[in-house]
Chain A
């Protein structure tokens, strides 16, 4: 059998195994690789740094467990950053698979930072309705979320005193994995209610947000695990995203090699045919 034929009929399970090992081994035996901070992550960081101390921020966590490796590290770092600047966070979730994961993450960080639920942060939980909820929040947040994630009356918490709608926040931080999420906040909220937005998104959706960043509709952007790792570096943390970047790099190099090999096989096949 010729080399081209053998490569054409190559069992793809060897590729799965190689990717698996390239991801697993650096997690067991970490290899130090540098992480360079890009301008998008820097802008995201600077936007939070520019907040007046003690501000109350709206943190929209629109994701479910499918985006956990990319967006939970971002959520953790953002909350730590906000709490370090003595800011308060009001958290919402418009994804029905997400409220449990978001609540667990938020409370973990709250406990770790010694913050009090209802005073320093509150999780308003999930609300069905996609964009309609975003627009309703522009009228009244307490009416849109009458109860929080644990069933408590929203208006009974000290953090909610004086909170009316988007005008009560200096910034909206959208951590999103798709629809509804950052794109819908830009479309429905940024232009209409004139609130500054920064976003952390999954890598798969990141390219579509560059246009919003360029137009100034987004003030900062973290894209996927790489964005989360850059943000962790700016914060001086070494979290799950930073640990994940070495296997990420190894897997990318191997996949790039596979693409080149696949193209080489096609080229050789065409040359064999023409010969």
Chain B
């Protein structure tokens, strides 16, 4: 075992132990690590977005354009740099929320953000999920091979009964009741698979932390 000589590794290891201490009970070490994480994250995100978004995408192109003949009104790289002033202004308007009387101005920026994302999401969902998934669901039930056909039939039964479970315009009685109960079985199996994968993800996090403590901090190989 060779203990790490890296100060950063020691800080990370001690903070990991502080967080783990919560498993015994809530305590000041855990609280300290939690508050430190929240504070550092907030500062990190502000600085990161300033230097990777505002500076290269808005500030630098605008400032550079003033040094060229034609200034920001000159067509460059297929656009006019002056257009950048518009998203810049919308970004600034978001801060009007801090000043009560003109706070309503921030709604313009929010309207643009919501409108753009609603449009992107709708087209993305229609193209990537809805049409493609409906197409993929239309499978031939008999393929000539027993197991492939069995798979296709099972898939189709699962799909239809699961959809019927979410049909609430009629009481789940009779044939609809039977179908929706079969649908529940398929849904439960999918929830079980989801739960198993969630456990794997969470245990992976624990393994990752233990690997860090053992290998990077304590030098165990």
Are the CB atoms of A128 and B49 closer together than 8 Å? yes
Q: How far is the CB of A127 from chain B (nearest CB, A)?
A: 7
Please give, as numbers and ranges, the residues of chain B lying within 8 Å of A207 by CB-CB distance: 190, 193-194, 197
Is B57 located at the chain interface by the 8 A CB criterion? yes
Are the CB atoms of A244 and B77 closer together than 8 Å? no
Are the CB atoms of A69 and B125 closer together than 8 Å? no
Are the CB atoms of A188 and B23 closer together than 8 Å? no
Complex: how many Å from CA A191 to CA B200? Answer: 31
Query: Which of B66-74, B163-171, B179-187, B203-211 lies at the binding interface?
Result: B203-211
Residues of B bordering A, CB below 8 Å: 23-24, 41, 44-45, 48-49, 52-53, 56-57, 60-61, 77-78, 116-117, 120-121, 124-125, 127-129, 132-133, 135-136, 190, 193-194, 196-211, 214, 220
Are the CB atoms of A204 and B120 closer together than 8 Å? no
Is A251 located at the chain interface by the 8 A CB criterion? yes
Are the CB atoms of B127 and A27 closer together than 8 Å? no
Please give, as numbers and ranges, the residues of chain B lying within 8 Å of A243 by CB-CB distance: 211
Complex: how many Å from CA A66 to CA B83? Answer: 38
Complex: how many Å from CA A27 to CA B136? Answer: 43
Complex: how many Å from CA A131 to CA B205? Answer: 27
Q: Mark A188-206, 1 if CB is under 8 A from B, else 0.
A: 1011100000000011101
Complex: how many Å from CA A24 to CA B211? Answer: 9
Are the CB atoms of A70 and B45 closer together than 8 Å? no
Is A135 located at the chain interface by the 8 A CB criterion? yes
Instruction: Scan residues 239-273 of chain A and give those whose CB is less than 8 A from a CB of chain B.
Output: 240, 243-244, 247-248, 251-252, 255
Write 24 A-B pairs (CB below 8 A) sorted by A numbering: A27-B211, A28-B214, A69-B208, A97-B45, A127-B52, A127-B53, A128-B49, A131-B120, A131-B124, A143-B77, A143-B78, A146-B57, A146-B61, A190-B128, A203-B198, A203-B201, A204-B198, A207-B197, A225-B200, A226-B200, A244-B207, A251-B206, A252-B200, A252-B203
Complex: how many Å from CA A224 to CA B203? Answer: 11
Please give, as numbers and ranges, the residues of chain B lying within 8 Å of A27 by CB-CB distance: 207, 210-211, 214
Complex: how many Å from CA A192 to CA B127? Answer: 8
Are the CB atoms of B200 and A224 closer together than 8 Å? yes
A: number of interface residues (CB 8 Å): 55
Given contacts A28-B220, A191-B132, A204-B202, 15 further A-B contacts (CB under 8 A): A20-B206, A23-B206, A69-B205, A96-B48, A99-B48, A131-B124, A146-B60, A191-B128, A203-B200, A204-B198, A211-B136, A244-B204, A248-B204, A252-B196, A252-B199
Complex: how many Å from CA A154 to CA B136? Answer: 39
**Interface residues of A: mostly helix, strand, loop or mixed?**
helix
Please give, as numbers and ranges, the residues of chain A lying within 8 Å of B194 by CB-CB distance: 207
Please give, as numbers and ranges, the residues of chain B lying within 8 Å of A125 by CB-CB distance: 52
Is A10 located at the chain interface by the 8 A CB criterion? no
Are the CB atoms of B48 and A126 closer together than 8 Å? yes
Is A156 located at the chain interface by the 8 A CB criterion? no
Complex: how many Å from CA A186 to CA B131? Answer: 13
Please give, as numbers and ranges, the residues of chain B lying within 8 Å of A190 by CB-CB distance: 128
Please give, as numbers and ranges, the residues of chain B lying within 8 Å of A247 by CB-CB distance: 203, 207, 210
Query: Which of A33-41, A79-87, A161-169, A214-222 lies at the binding interface?
Result: A214-222
* Minimum-distance CB pairs A-B, first 3: A69-B208, A187-B128, A215-B136
Q: How far is the CB of A77 from chain B (nearest CB, A)?
A: 15
Please give, as numbers and ranges, the residues of chain A lying within 8 Å of B49 by CB-CB distance: 96, 128
Please give, as numbers and ranges, the residues of chain A lying within 8 Å of B23 by CB-CB distance: 13, 16, 20
Complex: how many Å from CA A135 to CA B116? Answer: 12
Complex: how many Å from CA A177 to CA B137? Answer: 26
Please give, as numbers and ranges, the residues of chain B lying within 8 Å of A105 by CB-CB distance: none
